Amino acid sequence: MQIAEVPPPLEVEDSRRIFGLETEFGLHVVAPGSRPVTPEEVAGHLFHSVVQWGRSSNVFLTNGSRLYIDVGAHPEYATAECDTIEDLIALDKAGERIVQDLVAEGEQRLREAGVEGEIHLYKNNTDSAGNSYGCHENYLLRRRADFAGFARGLLPFLVTRQIVTGAGCITRTPEGAHFSFSPRADHMWEGMSSATTRSRPMINTRDEPHANAELYRRMHVIVGDSTMAQPTTLLKIGSTDLVLRLLEARVPMPELALAKEMQAIRDIAHDLSGTATVELADGRRLTAVEIQQSFLDSVVSHVDGLIERTEEVERILDLWQRGIDAVRTQDYSGIDTELDWAIKLKLVKRYQDRLGCALDDPRLARLELAFHDVSPTRGLANRMERDGLIRTIVSDEAIERAKTVAPTTTRAHLRGRFVREALASGRDFTVDWVHLKFTGQESRTVLLKDPFRYEDERVDMLLGTVVS
Amino acid sequence: MPQVNASGQPYEDDAPEPAPAPATMASTDALDDLLEEIDGSLQTNAEQFVRSFVQKGGE
């Protein structure tokens, strides 16, 4: 058997980055009058067709992404490696449709099992009992020795970005309800750590690059909210990427380390006026508006230098500034079709006016769930998008395509090809983020350590063995 | 003060015109129409519906 060489890592520009998003969906079965049903049973019915073709409830798809049932019996979707934010938005939205496509058969199988009801999948971060689940962001970084110090430089940005990229939520307290920037803010327990389920850090420091560990490491950000509006996802990923580029280049940045990150993230979340100040390590007190503006000013000062001015960069910076301005001026009309918290606040307020009720009314909580429902018919974010009440970035065709086709400019392309051809061949195979293998002793394992490489002779040969 | 980039040009002037937002009246009507349409289903057993959504831990 001919042996292809392991190709060297591709030379890529420093500005190129791999992005990924992992979304945990809330799983809710509504079956009044039926026998009790466990989340595990519902998840089993939901994933029946997946297990049929993938022989597992943990599979990689032809679009290069991973779909599985996570701890707690809820569906999780991790996008394939993307090197553009538009690809990432398309794959993220495709994930909503992929899990929603499982609902009809899940409901049918539940019915056959004697449970007449509806299955709802929510792309949100909290349930009615105060449990939280996440939307994790992954950014590929060039390896450096002082990761902890580097990551610490990002924390003031991550704590304050909720005023523009937060999902918004009604917060219920014994003293009444109020609208907050971020549902995740109250569920963060520390700044950095290697754990996720026991303690919940903003940045997970577990060193698992899924790539050549001599060159790269992965920044795993846990603090973000799941976002429905495409422009919010663009800003969430785009602004973080731009700040990371400055930190990676070690350019001088304003000193903004916070004295108490956990206190700060909560204080900011619960102050829609944007006037609450948080304490910095050097004793100063600043608002989230001031801290975000400082990061934005730093980024803007490097455009046309370190940061190439592209249409996408301009779009990110424009929305970022308008988001900060909206909080500063308390006029949300400039962002209420683009940024999740403002879209949701407008929706909640309009329905509250209609009902003439208090903010803690359960009908408004019901409205919030409907907003995050990924169903094209029951889901309000989807319907608002169709009605022009939420703007889009990528086309509907691009999202449909991303359900089955992997990004063409990253390793995901190789994985997608392998999964597609392996399924067509009927042979057993195993696949993960870095390995491709046909089951059987004679077959070789191809190790894909370069996330930027989308062509590889070894994969061609591996797939050639299927045909021959 | 306008944002200034490295070349000294006001950033705002270089930015592409954002796509026009839907006219306020139109979007107001569309939002009201949507709420009108879903009002009935949202009101039905809202409290029980919301309370029945409990998700076990993940991450």
The predicted-structure confidence for A197-213, as pLDDT tens digits, reads as follows: 667 789 988 888 999 99
3-state secondary structure of A445: strand
pLDDT of residue A191: 81
| A417 and A365 in a common domain | no
**pLDDT average, residue stretch A180-200:** 81
- A contact residues 2-41, partner B, Cβ 8 Å cutoff: 24, 26-28, 30, 32, 39
Residue A45 has pLDDT above 80, yes or no: yes
Q: What is the pLDDT of residues A109-123, one digit of tens each?
A: 999 999 999 999 999
* Gap from A317 CA to chain B (nearest CA, Å): 9
pLDDT of residue B2: 41
At A372, which amino acid appears? Answer: H
| A302 and A159 in a common domain | yes
Q: Which helix (H) or strand (E) holds A60?
A: strand A58-60
pLDDT of residue B4: 41
Q: What is the pLDDT of residues A292-331, one digit of tens each?
A: 999 999 999 999 999 999 999 999 999 999 999 999 999 9
| A288 and A152 in a common domain | yes
Mean of the per-residue pLDDT values for chain A? 94
CB of A136 within 8 Å of any CB in chain B? yes
Q: How far apart are CA A225 and CA A184, in angstroms?
A: 6
pLDDT of residue B57: 58
Q: How far apart are CA A415 and CA A447, in angstroms?
A: 11
Q: Is B46 in Cβ contact with A365 (below 8 Å)?
A: yes
- A12 in a structural domain: no
| β-pairing verdict for A190-193 and A201-204 | parallel
| β-pairing verdict for A429-431 and A435-438 | antiparallel
CB of A379 within 8 Å of any CB in chain B? no
- A13 in a structural domain: no
CB of B25 within 8 Å of any CB in chain A? no
pLDDT of residue A106: 97
Q: Which helix (H) or strand (E) holds A165?
A: helix A162-165
| A292 and A426 in a common domain | no
Please give the structure tokens belonging to residue B1.
């003060």
pLDDT of residue A9: 82
Give the structural domain span for A363.
143-183+226-371
**pLDDT average, residue stretch A367-372:** 98
Q: How far apart are CA A279 and CA A275, in angstroms?
A: 13
| A316 and A250 in a common domain | yes
Q: Is A70 a catalytic residue?
A: yes
**pLDDT average, residue stretch A94-104:** 98
DSSP state of A333: G
Beta strands per DSSP E along A72-159: 74-78, 118-122, 135-142
| A440 and A331 in a common domain | no
- A386 in a structural domain: no
Q: Is B51 in Cβ contact with A367 (below 8 Å)?
A: no
Look at residues A338, A354, A371 and tell me which one is the last residue of a structural domain: A371
The stretches of A259-339 forming alpha helices (DSSP H) are: 261-269, 288-301, 311-329
| A275 and A155 in a common domain | yes
* Gap from B50 CA to chain A (nearest CA, Å): 6
Q: How far apart are CA A239 and CA A235, in angstroms?
A: 6
- A286 in a structural domain: yes
Q: How far apart are CA B59 and CA A26, in angstroms?
A: 12
Band the pLDDT of A247: cuts 50, 70, 90. Answer: very high
Closest to A78 in 3D by CA, of A89, A87, A91: A91
> ipTM of the predicted structure?
0.91
Residue A39 has pLDDT above 70, yes or no: yes
**Residue A130 backbone zone (phi > 0: left; psi -120 to 50: alpha; other: beta):** left
pLDDT of residue B20: 52
| A457 and A318 in a common domain | no
Please give the structure tokens belonging to residue B40.
């009935």
- What residues in A contact B52, CB-CB < 8 Å? 28, 30, 128
Residues 6+ apart with CB under 8 A from A242: A299, A307, A313, A316
CB of B48 within 8 Å of any CB in chain A? yes
Q: Is B19 in Cβ contact with A391 (below 8 Å)?
A: yes
Probe site for chain B from A296, A363, A377, A378 (most B CB atoms < 10 A): A363
pLDDT of residue A207: 80
| A417 and A275 in a common domain | no
What residue of A is the nearest CA neighbor of B33?
Answer: A387
**pLDDT average, residue stretch A35-60:** 94
* Gap from B52 CA to chain A (nearest CA, Å): 7
- A189 in a structural domain: no
Probe site for chain B from A38, A125, A128, A306 (most B CB atoms < 10 A): A128
CB of B26 within 8 Å of any CB in chain A? yes
| A255 and A355 in a common domain | yes
- What residues in A contact B6, CB-CB < 8 Å? 301-305
**pLDDT average, residue stretch A24-36:** 94
pLDDT of residue A67: 98
Band the pLDDT of A89: cuts 50, 70, 90. Answer: very high
Q: Which of B31, B35, B50 sits opposite A365 (nearest CB)?
A: B50
Residue A334 has pLDDT above 90, yes or no: yes
CB of B23 within 8 Å of any CB in chain A? no
Total number of domains constituting chain A: 2
CB of A198 within 8 Å of any CB in chain B? no
Mean pLDDT by 10 residues, chain B (59 residues): 42 49 60 95 94 78
Residue A397 has pLDDT above 60, yes or no: yes
Residue A337 has pLDDT above 80, yes or no: yes
- A135 in a structural domain: no
Q: How far apart are CA A72 and CA A84, in angstroms?
A: 32
Q: Is A74 in Cβ contact with B14 (below 8 Å)?
A: no
| Positive or negative torsion for Cα A76, A82, A88, A91 | negative
Comparison of pLDDT for A131 and A177, the residue scoring more: A177
Q: What is the pLDDT of residues A267-288, one digit of tens each?
A: 999 999 999 999 999 999 999 9
Q: Is A354 in Cβ contact with B56 (below 8 Å)?
A: no
- A426 in a structural domain: yes
Q: Is the pTM of this model over 0.90?
A: yes
| A272 and A155 in a common domain | yes
CB of B14 within 8 Å of any CB in chain A? yes
| A253 and A155 in a common domain | yes
At A340, which amino acid appears? Answer: D
